[in-house]
Structure 1
Amino acid sequence: MSGALDVNGVAKAYRQYKGEIQRVASWFVPNVYPAKETWVLEDISFSLSPGEAVGIIGQNGAGKSTLLKIITGTTKPTNGSVQVKGKIAAILELGMGFNPDLTGRQNVYHSAGLMGYTSEQIDTVINNIEEFAEIGKYFEDPVRTFSSGMQMRVAFAVATAFRPDILIIDEALSVGDSYFQHKSFDRIREFREQGTSLLFVSHDKGAILALCDRAILLDKGHLLRDGDPEEITDYYNALIAEKANSTIEQVVMGNGGIQTRSGTAEAKVIEVALYNAKGQVAEYVGVGERVELRIKVKVYQSIETLVLGYGIKDRLGQVMHGTNTWHTKQVINKPNVGSEYEFVIAFQANLGVGSYSIQTALVDRDTHLTANYEWLDLALVFNVINIDKVHFAGCMWIESRITIEEYGK
C-alpha cells in the first residue's frame, strides 16, 4: 500500500483575546466580542500521490510547520480539510512526544505507542532502533541529558522503525551530524524505492533536488508556486534576494526548462558561451577537457562595485562548483555606465557524463543578499561526454591510479 494525501483549501487563524472574560464571552456572543485574528495559512490546496516525494520550501514564518501539524492532526485547521490514505510517520519539532524524564528506551515505547504500535510490535524492532540511533549507553539515560543531535537520532529511528505509507519530515534533520544525515537520507531513499510517499520540509536546496519529484513554495501563508523542484528552488532563491525595485521573471525555454531571472537590473549578462579546447563554441565537451566559459556583462546604471558569480549545476539543479570574483579578489570598482566587461573562466571539465547548466549572479560583494543586480539560472546548457577516459560512475572525474601487490602465503 502507498500513501496519498489531499489538502483542500486549508487555512489557519490564531485568535488573540484581551483577557479571559472576552474569550469566554466570545463563545456565547462571538460577533459582540470579536478576537484579533492572525492568519498564518490561507487557502492551501495540493495533493501527494502514492509513491511521490514533495518538498516544501519557504522563508521562516511562511507557515510550513503549521501546515505539517495540520496534516498530521496535531493542529486543527480553521477552514478546509485534509484527507489521508495510509499510515503517517512524522518528525516535526525536535523532541516532540518525548518525556525528558524517561530514558531513550522508555521514550521509544512511549512515542511508538502514540503512533499506534503495540508493545509486542515495538519489542520486535527495539534492537534495530537502538542500533540505528547509535547513541550507545545514553539509550538508557533520561532524554533531558541528550544533545539535540542525539534526540534527532532516536526520533528518526523511531519514526522509521516501520516503513510508513507517508513519511513527513520537518527541518529537524538539519540538527544531525553529517554522518547521521547521510544515514537518514539513505533510509529515506530506501523507503521511496519501496513505495513510501514523502513530504519533506527543508531550506536545503540540494536535499529537495535530490529527494523530491515536485516542490511547493509557501510565502506568508500562501501557496506561491507548485512545480518542478529546480524551477521552484530557483524562484525561492530569487525571492529571498528580492529588493524594493527588483523583479522576478520566469521564462519557458526551447528545451522545456524554466529560466529564472531576477534583480534590480543595474547590470546584466548579455552573452554566455562555452568554448572547447579548440577555441570553438561547444555544446558537447569531453570529460577532463580544458574549456573556457566566457560571460559578457553590461553596466546600465551607476554602481559602486561589480562582482560576477557563477555556478555549474547538474541536471537536478545541484551546484557542482561555484565561486565569484569577490573571493578571487577581482572586484570591479566603480564600473563605467555603458561599458561591457568580458569575464573568461578557464577550467577543466572534470565532470561526470551528463547534462549541466550555468547560473550567473551579478552582485556588489560576496553574496546576492545585499545587492542583487541580476541572478540568472539556466544561462547556458552543455553536455559532458566521455571520449578518452576509462569508464567511471559519478558526478566528477578524478584521475586515479590503481596498484595491486600480491604477498606470499
Structure 2
Amino acid sequence: MGSIVVSGLGKAYKQYPSRWSRLAEWLLPAASARHRLKWVLRDISFRLGAGEAVGIIGINGAGKSTLLKLITGTSQPTSGSVAISGSVAALLELGMGFHPDFTGRQNAYMAGQLLGMAVEEISALMPQIEEFAEIGEYIDQPVRVYSSGMQMRLAFSVATVRRPDVLIVDEALSVGDAYFQHKSFERIREFRKQGTTLLIVSHDRAAIQSICDRAILLDGGRLALEGSPEQVMDFYNAMLAERDNAKVEQSAAADGRVQTRSGTGEATVTRITLENADGEQVETVNVGTDVSLRIGVRVNRPVRRLVLGYMIKDRLGQPIYGTNTHHMGQPLTDLQAGDELEYRFRFPLNLGAGSYSVTTALTSSETHLSDNYEWRDLAFLFMVANLNRNEFVGCNWLEPKVDIIR
C-alpha cells in the first residue's frame, strides 16, 4: 500500500542582478553570495495515508506543479523532505519523457521502463495500452504528429496499465476530450476502490469533490488551507472573488460543515426561508412539492446595479441548479443604503431524497468574480423526502410515462 509524507518542503531558485554576478560567484565561490533566493514553495507539510485521495488546487503560479515535481523526484527540494512508499505512477507535464521522433509504441516501451517494467512485461501489456489509448494506427507514427489529446491518451494509458500503489496526476487530463476524461476518471475511481493512494491537481470542482477525501489549497507557494473538498473549494472560489477591501470568512455550521462567506459588503442577505404552497416555512419537503425560496436583502451602501443569484447543492457540494436575476432579466438599479428587498423564487422541488444546501450571491453582473458584494455558501439547509412517489434513484425526479408496444 502506498503513502506520502511531505515535511517542511520548500523550493527556491537563485536570482542574480546580472550575468556578471553569476560569473563572479562561480569564479569566487568563497566570496559572499551574489544572489538572492526566490522561494516558489515554502514550508509545505501534509500526509496521505494508504488508499487516501487528496486534491491540490490553487491559482496559476501557486506552486502546484512544482510541488508534484518535488514529490515525484523530477526536481530536488531546497528544504524539507518527501517520503513515498509503494510503486508510483505519475502523469505530470503533457508528454514529459516522450521523444517526438520516436513512435508512440517506442515511447510506450521507454515510458514503461521508466516506471520499472521489464520489456517483456510491456510487450504483454501493449494490447491493453493500445486498447485504452484508442489512437489506432497512430501508435506506430512519430509522436510529433500527435495532437495534445493523443499524447495525453497514450501517456495516461501507459502510466495506469498496471495499478500503482500511488498515482500522481497533474492537470494534463484537462486537455483530453470529454469522452476520454470520463474514461480516465472511471479508471482512477476503480483504482481508488482497490486501494491506490491518489494525489491529483485539478481546477475541476466536480472531480475534486467526487474523488477526493481531502483537498489542499496552495496560495503564493504556501499551504493556505487543508480540509474537506467542499470547504476548500468554497474558500478557493471566494478567494478568486476577493478584491481590495473584500474579506473571506469561514465558520462552522450547526451540522459541522464549514460555511464560507466573502464580499465587500455593499449588500447582504438578511434571511432565507423555504415555504410550501400554503406559505408555511418548511425544512423537509416531499419530492416534487411546489415551493417558494424567499430571500431578504439589505443594501448597506449605494449600489448602481444589483443581481441576486442562488445555487442548490447536494450533500457533497455538487451544484444541482443555479440561476440569477441577471439571466432572468430582472436586475435592480440605483439602490440606496437602507433599502430592504425581498426576492421570491417559485419552482417545483423535483429533487431526489437527501440533504441540500443553498448558496447565495449578490453581485453587479452575471458572475461573482466582479463586484462581489456577498457570496455565502451553506446559507440555508433543507431536506427532501420521498413520501409518496415511486421508488427511484438519483438527485432529480424525472418520472416518465411509459408506453409498451408488443
- With normalisation by structure 1, the TM-score equals 0.96
**Whole-Å Cα distance in 2 between the matches of residues 312 and 107 of structure 1?**
46
For the residue of structure 1 that corresponds to 2:373, the secondary structure is: strand
**For residue 279 of structure 1, what is the aligned residue in structure 2?**
279
- After the TM superposition, which of the residue ranges 259-268 and 381-390 deviates more from structure 2? 381-390
Structure 1 CA distance, aligned partners of 2:19 and 2:336? 62
1:312 CA displacement: 0.5
Equivalent runs, 1:283-322 vs 2, <5 Å? 283-322=283-322
Cα deviations by residue, 1:193-239 (Å, 9 ceiling, x for unpaired): 00001101111111111110000000000000011111111000110
The one-character-per-residue Cα deviations of 1:368-395 (angstroms, maximum 9, x if unpaired) are 1111000000000111111222111112
Contact map agreement 2:274 2:291 (CA 8 A) in 1 = yes
Could you tell me which residue of structure 2 aligns to residue 130 of structure 1?
A: 130
Whichever residue aligns with residue 268 of structure 1, its letter is T
What's the CA shift for 1:179? 0.8
Distance 1:396 1:20, change over 3 A: farther
Instruction: Provide the C-alpha distance between the structure 2 equivalents of 1:35 and 1:201, rounded to a whole number of angstroms.
Output: 32
* 2:25–2:34 CA contact under 8 A, matched in 1: no
Q: Gapped runs of 5+ residues in structure 2?
A: none
Corresponding residue for 1:260? 260
Is 1:251 the counterpart of 2:258? The answer is: no
Matched residue SS, 2:303: coil
Taking the aligned partners of 2:107 and 2:30, their CA distance within structure 1 comes to 42
Shift in alpha-carbon separation, 1:23–1:205, aligned structure 2, 3 A: farther
Tell me, what secondary structure is at the counterpart of 1:372?
Answer: coil
Between the aligned partners of 2:158 and 2:199, the Cα distance in structure 1 is 17
CA contact (8 A) 1:266 1:303 kept: yes
How many angstroms apart in 2 are the aligned matches of 1:90 and 1:185?
15
Structure 1 residues 183 and 81, CA gap change in structure 2 (3 angstroms): same
Could you list the runs of 4 or more consecutive aligned residues of structure 1 that deviate by over 6 angstroms after TM superposition?
A: none
Equivalent residue number for residue 165 of structure 2: 165
For 1:11, the equivalent position in structure 2 comes to 10
Equivalent residue number for residue 84 of structure 2? 84
**SS of 1:334's equivalent?**
strand
Supply the distance in 2 between the matched residues of 1:158 and 1:66 (Cα, whole angstroms): 23
- SS of match in other structure, 1:106: helix
Q: 2:97 aligns to what?
A: 97
Three-state SS of the structure 2 residue aligned to 1:125 is: helix
The aligned residue for residue 117 of structure 1 is 117
Structure 1, residues 250-289: CA drift from partner, whole Å, max 9, x if none?
A: 1111211111110000100000111123322111111121
Could you tell me how far apart the structure 1 residues matched to 2:192 and 2:86 are?
A: 15
Whole-angstrom CA distance in 1 between matches of 2:398 and 2:32: 73
Name stretches of at least 5 consecutive residues in structure 1 with no aligned partner: none
Query: How many correspondences in the alignment?
Result: 405
Asked if the contact 2:297/2:342 (under 8 Å) is kept, the reply is yes
State the alpha-carbon separation in 1 of the partners of residues 8 and 20 from structure 2: 31
TM-score, L = length of structure 2: 0.97
Distance 1:27 1:69 in 2: 31
Using the alignment, how far apart are the partners of 2:31 and 2:24 within structure 1? 13
User: 1:1-400 counterparts in 2 under 5 A?
Assistant: 2-17=1-16, 18-19=18-19, 22-23=22-23, 25-26=25-26, 29=29, 32-400=32-400
Q: Residues 31 and 41 from structure 1, CA distance in 2 versus in 1: closer, same or farther, beyond 3 angstroms?
A: farther
1:125 CA displacement: 1.2
CA distance in 2, matches of 1:20, 1:120: 52
* 1:168-210 Cα shifts (integer Å, max 9, x gaps): 1111111111111111111011000000011011111111111
For 1:153 and 1:27, how far apart are their aligned partners in 2?
47
For the residues of structure 1 that align with 2:176 and 2:307, how far apart are their CA atoms? 34
> Contact conserved, 1:26 with 1:34, CA < 8 A, in 2?
no
> What is the one-letter code of the residue matched to 1:117?
M
Write the distance in 1 (CA, Å) between the matches of 2:342 and 2:192. Answer: 46
Q: CA deviation at 1:296?
A: 0.5
Following TM superposition, by how much is the alpha carbon of 1:311 offset from its aligned partner in structure 2, in angstroms? 0.5
- How well do the aligned residues superpose, as a CA RMSD in angstroms? 1.4
**Offset of residue 328 of structure 1:** 1.0
**2-structure distance, mates of 1:178, 1:245:** 39
Q: What code does the residue aligned with 1:206 have?
A: A
After superposition, the Cα gap between the structure-2 partners of 1:304 and 1:160, relative to the gap in structure 1 and judged at 3 Å, is: same
Maintained 8 Å contact 2:9/2:42: yes
1:303 Cα offset (Å): 1.5
Offset, 1:64: 0.3
Report the AA paired with residue 162 of structure 2.
Answer: F
Change (3 A) 1:308 1:7: same
**Contact 2:21–2:34 (CA<8 Å) still a contact in 1?**
no
Q: Secondary structure at the match of 2:320?
A: strand
1:22, 1:33 within 8 Å by CA — same for their partners in 2? Answer: no
Q: 1:53–1:213: 8 Å Cα contact kept in structure 2?
A: yes
- One-letter amino acid matched to 1:222: R
Q: In structure 1, what is the Cα distance between the partners aligned to 2:290 and 2:36?
A: 64
CA distance in 2, matches of 1:268, 1:30: 61
Q: 1:6 and 1:263 mapped to 2: Cα distance? A: 36
